[in-house]
Every structure is written in C-alpha cells, then in structure tokens.
Amino acid sequence: MNYDEFLLKIFNLTGIDLSLYKEKQMKRRIDSFIANNNCQSYDIFYDRLTKDTKVYKEFLKYITINVTEFFRNFDQWMILKNEILPKIIKKNMRIWSAACSTGEEAYSLAMIISNFIDLNQVNIIATDIDDVVLEKAKKGIYSNKSLEKVPKEYLKYFSCYNENNYIISEELRKNIVFKKHNLLLDKFPENIDLIVCRNVLIYFNDKAKEEIYKKFYSSLSTEGILFVGSTEQIIFPFKYNFTPVKTFFYKKMSKYLV
C-alpha cells in the first residue's frame, strides 16, 4: 500500500486522521518509526500493528507528539496570571486544557488559579487523545528535573514520592477532570471561559486548524479567552471571529461575522 492508503487504514483502526497533520513532518515521523521497528513497507508494519499490542501503543504515543512541561514559556503564564485571569476569574468558571499531554499544563493552570479562588469553585477539564499520557497525568508523578521551572511559591503543591520523583498534591489532582478527547473528531465542551491549547496546532495542516479554531469559537462562553502557544500566533484572528487581547491571547468576538 502507499502512504495515503496507510493513513486511511490507520484512521479506520485508531480513529486518528493523520492526513490532517502536516504531511512532511508526519510522514517523516512515521517512516522513521517503521524503520526503527525493522519493517520494510507500510503493509508489513500495518500487519504488525494489528498483531502486536506493545508496538501499537508505542506507535500511538509516538504519533500524538506529547511534548510539554510545567509553565512552558513562563512569561506567557505570567501574562495569564497578572493580566488575563483577574478580569475573567469567577465562581463556577469553566476551564479547558486541550491536548494536555502528561498534565503539566493543566496543573500549571490550577496552581495559578489557586491564587485567585478556591479550586473547589472552578471546573477544570483536561483532555488528550492518548490514554497512556492521561494515566500519567491522573497520577501526577513527575521527576525532580521536571520541577525546575516551577516557581518557588508553587512547590508547596509537590511532595516527595520516592528518591527521584515528586507527586502533585491531592488538592490539585481532585479538582481536574482528565478524559480522552480527539480535537479532530469529538464534540467540544460548551460554555468554556478559558481554553488553553498550546504547542499542538503547529502539527496540523491549515484545513484542520481552521476547523479547530471555529470549534473553539463555539466552545467559548461570551467573554471567553483562547490561550495558544508561542509558535501559534493566529495571523488573521478576525477570520475566525477572535480579537487579540495580548499576544497569544484571543477573545471571542461578540458577533459572529462569517
């Protein structure tokens, strides 16, 4: 089979439409993974995927590109804390960490929000397509090294788990709902006051990004804010009915224009 046929089979097998990712990047990643598993063709590799559960799980983890850290691009998090949240924080606020990977982003959110309001009074949803990373996120166990960028004021939320790892406090873990979600296929949550989706859309092609931006618009509440990654500035936000608040922060426009 050729590459396009392989992608169709993967979609039927996993529900993940890899054709909506940037083709050159994704094909390079897939070809590299296939070669590393000593398979000489898409046919041979696909057959192995359907028979070897370990390879199947490794492949899913590999193609969903899980790269994250606590307070990634720290200055942007401080804008969220000092300029965005004071204007929108409220009881029963609904927050969505989309494509949360192993949870560092969602927990970073919770730490910052705890400066303003009791976490029991907000609703934080964190989603990802990968079951493996979601399980890690739910456990909240992280290496010593991964805590290097966590501000000192938030280290109180970590306790020693073993010699090389720390665990997030129960106070944070119990107030975040982690669940599986496919940005390309699944229904988006509604009436969200803050969507945080960072360093994910860079992997999608233009068609996929346009659909996701439109769904984000519909997902947000009237005064909702979208927070994107440092490489994901929306060049023409008005096309998707967003208006910039700060760099990488976009407000839902009051009237849908197109």
The pLDDT value given to residue 64: 72
The pLDDT value given to residue 256: 46
**pLDDT tens sequence across 66-84:** 667 899 989 999 999 999 9
The pLDDT value given to residue 257: 43
Cα dist from 102 to 1, 12, 106, 115, 182, whole Å: 34, 26, 9, 23, 15
**pLDDT tens sequence across 236-253:** 899 999 999 999 999 988
Residue 256 has, within 13 A of its CA and on its CB side, a CA count of: 10
> In this structure, what DSSP letter does residue 121 have?
G
pTM assigned to the model: 0.82
CA-closest candidate to residue 114, choices 74, 80, 154: 154
Give the residue-averaged pLDDT of 20-27. Answer: 82
Has residue 228 got a pLDDT over 70?
yes
Per the CB < 8 A criterion, the answer to whether 130 and 15 are in contact is: no
CA-closest candidate to residue 199, choices 109, 16, 69, 84: 69
Least confident of 22-36, 51-65, 98-112, 128-142: 51-65
**pLDDT tens sequence across 97-133:** 999 989 999 999 999 999 999 999 999 999 998 888 8
Say if strands 165-168 and 249-252 run parallel, antiparallel, or are unpaired: unpaired
Mean pLDDT score across all residues of the chain? 90
Percent of the chain with pLDDT over 90: 56
Give the residue-averaged pLDDT of 83-87. Answer: 95
Tell me the C-alpha distance between 156 and 167, whole Å.
Answer: 11
